[in-house]
Homo-oligomer: A and B are copies of this chain.
Amino acid sequence: MSIIVLGTVALDSVKTPHGRRNNLLGGSAAHFAMSARFFNEVNLVAIVGEDFPRKHIDFLHKNGIILTSLIKSGGKTFRWSGEYKGDLNTALTLSTELGVLSFFKPKITDHQRKIENVFLANVDPEIQSHLLKSMHSPRLVGLDSMNYWIHNKRKALFKLLKLVDIYVANDQEARDLSGEHNLIKAARYLRGKGPRFIVIKKGEHGVLFYCDRFIFSYPAFPVEKVVDPTGAGDTFAGGFMGYLSVQKSISEKILKRAVIYGTILSSFNVEGFGLEKTSVLTKKAVNSRLNKFKKILAF
């Protein structure tokens, strides 16, 4: 059964110590989809404006992403512009132009309503909630958010947390939302708010996974040349959710492998601007790096 992902499709302009790129195809749903496609068919739910380049549509289509519910509307595409300095761990947002995102109401087909694997990538929690309500009987629902919503739509976010299976957050978001500094405590707090699986992304420091029965953490795959971290979190989520979506059941072993796939996919993502690396990646290259990681971790 395929995946449906709701989120943003954006035009990103970034500056990093390795250079500058303008109007790259970006957004939470685009990065998620380009990563999850390694495991499953991905239905993308998002909105773009009339200025959105045809080549980006063709690119997503060519990569097998189902675009039936990508709305093309009058107005401008959501644009984000940011800069990374120093250790490239945090982006400095230079500008955000919501454009068509400000009146986005996701619309999906009757066929899509029956999809069992749902990922609510970063977008207004009220839009996330709207989509989730239209789903028939999802088997697995994942949620991502960001600091802006944690501070400005806290209530809506907590309401949503009750309805999802997986919450994927970065360390700062987990701390902000829980009020706990220790990440295990933060994860336990968030678990109490609903989701049975809490995944805390720590950027270059890897991932912490929390559920009632076990906790585990992995370092990031060591990457020397981080070119552009934009979309790394969504790429992680795509690999994680993509792998889980094709499993018959969910065990500790399966969850570990899902985290590892997310880790490996995002390690490629950061090695190029935007979707540069993820788009030319082969399943063989992914598995080869996974085996290398396995060797690195063995002791």
Interface positions of A (Cβ within 8 A of B): 86-88, 175, 181-185, 202, 204-206, 208, 214-220, 222-226, 253, 256-257, 259-260, 294, 296-299
**Please, which residues of chain B bring their CB within 8 A of the CB of A220?**
217
Q: How far is the CB of A250 from chain B (nearest CB, A)?
A: 14
The answer on a CB contact under 8 Å between A297 and B224 is no
Q: Is the CB of A296 within 8 A of B87?
A: no
Among B219, B226, B253, which residue has its beta carbon within 8 angstroms of that of A182?
B226
Which of B88, B182, B225 is A87 in contact with, Cβ under 8 Å?
Answer: B182
Among candidates B183, B214, B218, B222, residue contacting A184 with C-beta atoms closer than 8 Å: B222
Residues of B contacting A259 with CB < 8 Å?
299
Q: Is B87 within 8 A of A181, CB to CB?
A: yes
Closest Cβ of chain B: how far from A190's Cβ, in Å?
Answer: 14
Q: How far is the CA of A225 from the CA of B256 in the complex (A)?
A: 24
Do A299 and B181 form a contact, CB below 8 Å, given A202-B205, A205-B205, A219-B206? no
How many copies of this chain are found per oligomer? 2
- Apart from A206-B219, A214-B296, A216-B297, list 5 A-B contacts with CB within 8 A: A86-B181, A205-B219, A215-B222, A216-B222, A297-B299
Q: Would you call A297 and B218 a contact (CB within 8 A)? A: yes
Q: A245 CA to B18 CA in the complex, in Å?
A: 42
Q: How far is the CB of A186 from chain B (nearest CB, A)?
A: 10
Task: Tell me whether B219 and A219 are in contact (CB under 8 A).
Answer: yes
The residue that A216 contacts in the complex, of B214, B257, B296, with Cβ under 8 A, is: B296
When distances are taken between beta carbons in the complex, the residues of chain B under 8 Å from A224 are 182, 184-185
Q: Are B299 and A257 in contact, with the CB atoms below 8 A?
A: yes
